[in-house]
Amino acid sequence: MNKIEHALMHGLFVHLHHNIDKVIDFKGFQELNREVDRVWKGALAIGPEANDDAAVFQIPGLDGYVVGKMESHCSPCVPRPYDAAATGAGGAMRDVVAMGGRPVFLLDFIGTRPLEQEVIVGPCGFKGRCDCGRCRVMTSRDRLNIMIKGVRDMCAKMDVYVVGGGFSTSFSDIVPAVVVAVIGKLTTEKPLTKPAKNAGDKIIMIGVTGNDGNDTLYRAGLVEEMRPALALFDEEKVAMDAALAAFETGRINACSDLGAAGIGAAVCESARYGSLGARIDLSRVPVSVPDITPQEILICETQARYVMQVSPESVDEVVSAIQSKTPHVAVIGEITNEDKEVFEYDGKPIAEIPNAPSEEILEILRREA
């Protein structure tokens, strides 16, 4: 287990974000939702126990399905309130798109300290004092307006409209609350669920990868400076339009957006949930910065990206549809019958992630959680 494998497996098998089903007891929700068909038959297509990118449901009496996702970006708002609020909104929108939906409306909740209290915005914000000389001291009110602007600007770019939400100034913690819920309309015939469907399917990537959003690498000690993900407004709109164009072909078998732990998490989760494997050539991934390392390509959380799975005979049709909206598309690998995900760069192994790590490895990861 090398360092990058350790970092990715920690995220996949220990960190809450990728193991919410192991932390939250979904049985209570399942018991409640068994009543859905009795009251509104067929209304719930994808519920919380599916652990997919977003929920898919039907409003009784209305045609079509709705896609909904709630997401928080609280801690990143301490060093970068504008980008963090914008990427929180953009990330929830991508989750809606990844299910085959088009985001339409957003609700937000923002909680912060009393408006006149001072807060530190920047790398030292969590410490409560600035040692680097690059932080800014401002009122909670000023930070609040920066976060609101981040959400607003992302919505404006994506043609998504803020229809409600909540607000509180009773928080005492350094970290503010920034939570968004995005509602959209399903555009595909059925939801594009995350699990891989067929060995041999090709994996197509939309978007360009940078070395921002490297906190997984930073926590693993593989980089010296943490670079939070940057908000990419124009790129988010282009990537969404490209994904929607791909959906119109009717050829997409599975889809995921690239959020936490980037390509590594998206591919591993899809293959593992589908009881399949994957092989990825990281040298095929379009990149936006020179001298980016294979490890950064694998795990960085650059925004405005999706991966889709299609049968080999459909690749040209889907790539052509994507290219009608953006040149940033590449076939980066395929789904396999192996019980693991293999990531290479120019033929050299970078990481190999088993779908079921040994108990010895899991114990190591748990001890370091």
| List of residues 6+ apart from 93 with CB closer than 8 A | 103, 106, 154, 158, 160, 182, 184, 236, 240
**Closest to 143 measured CA to CA, from 174, 106, 182:** 174
**Closest to 80 measured CA to CA, from 127, 123, 130, 142:** 123
pLDDT, position 30: 83
| List of residues 6+ apart from 173 with CB closer than 8 A | none
Tell me which of 223-232, 239-248, 270-279, 331-340 is least confident. 223-232
Tell me which of 65-69, 165-169, 202-206, 359-363 is least confident. 359-363
CB 67 within 8 A of CB 101: yes
Residue 68 scores a pLDDT above 70: yes
What is the end-to-end Cα distance of the chain in Å, rounded? 16
The pTM (predicted TM-score) of the whole model is 0.95
Residue 18 scores a pLDDT above 60: no
Mean pLDDT of 19-36: 78
Residue 317 scores a pLDDT above 90: yes
When pLDDT is cut at 50, 70 and 90, the band that residue 99 belongs to is: very high
pLDDT digits (tens, 9 = 90+) for 167-203: 999 999 999 999 999 999 999 999 999 999 999 999 9
When pLDDT is cut at 50, 70 and 90, the band that residue 227 belongs to is: confident
CATH fold label, 53-186:
60s Ribosomal Protein L30; Chain: A; (3.30.1330)
Radius of gyration for the chain, computed over Cα atoms and rounded to the nearest angstrom: 20
When pLDDT is cut at 50, 70 and 90, the band that residue 215 belongs to is: confident
Q: Which residues pair with 82 in a beta bridge?
A: none
The CA distance from 167 to 112, in Å, is 8
For the chain, what's the residue count? 369
List own/partner pairs for 292-297 with CB under 8 A and 24 or more apart: 292/209, 292/210, 292/211, 293/211, 294/343, 294/345, 294/350, 295/4, 295/217, 295/222, 295/350, 296/209, 296/211, 296/214, 296/217, 296/223, 297/209, 297/263, 297/345
Q: Which residue type, as a one-letter code, is found at position 340?
A: K
pLDDT, position 287: 97
Strands 55-57, 44-46: pairing kind: antiparallel
pLDDT, position 223: 85
Percent of the chain with pLDDT over 90: 80
The CA distance from 135 to 195, in Å, is 42
Q: What distance separates the 2 farthest-apart alpha carbons in the chain?
A: 61
Q: What is the DSSP letter of 76?
A: G
When pLDDT is cut at 50, 70 and 90, the band that residue 147 belongs to is: very high
CATH architecture for segment(s) 202-367: Alpha-Beta Complex (3.90)
What residue segments make up the domains of the chain, in order of their start? Answer: 53-186, 202-367
pLDDT digits (tens, 9 = 90+) for 250-300: 999 999 999 889 999 999 999 999 999 999 999 999 999 999 999 999 999
pLDDT, the chain, mean:
94
**Closest to 268 measured CA to CA, from 369, 176, 173, 336:** 336
The CA distance from 176 to 169, in Å, is 10
Domains 53-186 and 202-367 share a fold: no
| List of residues 6+ apart from 67 with CB closer than 8 A | 54, 55, 56, 96, 99, 100, 101, 103, 183, 184, 185, 186, 191
Helix (H, G, I), strand (E, B) or coil at 55: strand
Mean pLDDT of 291-312: 97
The CA distance from 67 to 54, in Å, is 7
Helix (H, G, I), strand (E, B) or coil at 171: coil
